[in-house]
Amino acid sequence: MFAGYRSAFSKRGAASFCIAGVLSRLFVGIYPLGLLLLLALPTGQYGEAALVSGCWTIGNALGSPAAGIVADRFGQHRTLLLSIFAHFVLATTMLGSVALGTPLPITLLLASLLGASVVNTGPMTRARWATMWPDDSPERSAAYSVETGLDEVVFAIGPLLTAALAIQVSPYLAVASAFLLTAAGATWLLFQRHTEPPRRPPVARVHRRLAARYPGMPLLLVMLVAVGATCGAAEVLLVARSAELDRPGGAGLVLACFAVGSGVAAILFGSRTRSGPASLRLALSASVFGLLPVLYLTADSLLALMACSAVNGLSMAPTVINAFHLLDELIPVAIQTEGMNWVWSSLSLGFGSGTAAVGTIADELGARPTFLLPVLCALSAAAAAHLLHSRSKLRTKTEALNTSR
Q: What DSSP string describes 171-214?
A: HHHHHHHHHHHHHHHHHHHHT-GGGSPPPPPHHHHTTPPPGGGS
Q: CATH homologous superfamily for 14-197+211-404?
A: MFS general substrate transporter like domains (1.20.1250.20)
Rounded-to-integer distance, Cα 164 and Cα 201, Å: 47
Stretch (H or E) spanning 41:
none
CB atoms near residue 110 (< 10 Å): 23
pLDDT tier for residue 382 given thresholds of 50, 70 and 90: very high
The mean pLDDT value for 307-317 works out to 89
- Residue 291 reports pLDDT greater than 90: yes
The pLDDT of residue 353 is: 81
- Residue 349 reports pLDDT greater than 70: yes
Rounded-to-integer distance, Cα 190 and Cα 181, Å: 14
The pLDDT of residue 404 is: 56
The pLDDT of residue 398 is: 65
CB atoms near residue 139 (< 10 Å): 22
Rg of the chain over Cα atoms, rounded to whole angstroms, equals 20
pLDDT tier for residue 220 given thresholds of 50, 70 and 90: very high
Q: Which of 89-93, 151-155, 369-373 has the lowest mean pLDDT?
A: 151-155
Contacts 24+ apart (CB under 8 A), 296-299: 296/234, 296/237, 296/238, 296/371, 296/374, 296/375, 297/368, 297/371, 297/372, 297/375, 299/241
112 in Cβ contact with 58 (< 8 Å) = yes
The mean pLDDT value for 165-183 works out to 87
The pLDDT of residue 101 is: 82
Q: Which of 41-50, 270-279, 331-340, 371-380 has the highest mean pLDDT?
A: 371-380
Q: What burial class does residue 219 get, using C-beta atoms within 10 Å of its C-beta: 0-12 exposed, 13-18 middle, 19+ buried?
A: middle
The mean pLDDT value for 202-226 works out to 76
The mean pLDDT value for 31-55 works out to 80
The pLDDT of residue 169 is: 86
322 in Cβ contact with 285 (< 8 Å) = yes
Task: For the chain, give every domain's residue range.
Answer: 14-197+211-404
pLDDT tier for residue 386 given thresholds of 50, 70 and 90: very high
Rounded-to-integer distance, Cα 271 and Cα 266, Å: 9
- Residue 270 reports pLDDT greater than 70: no
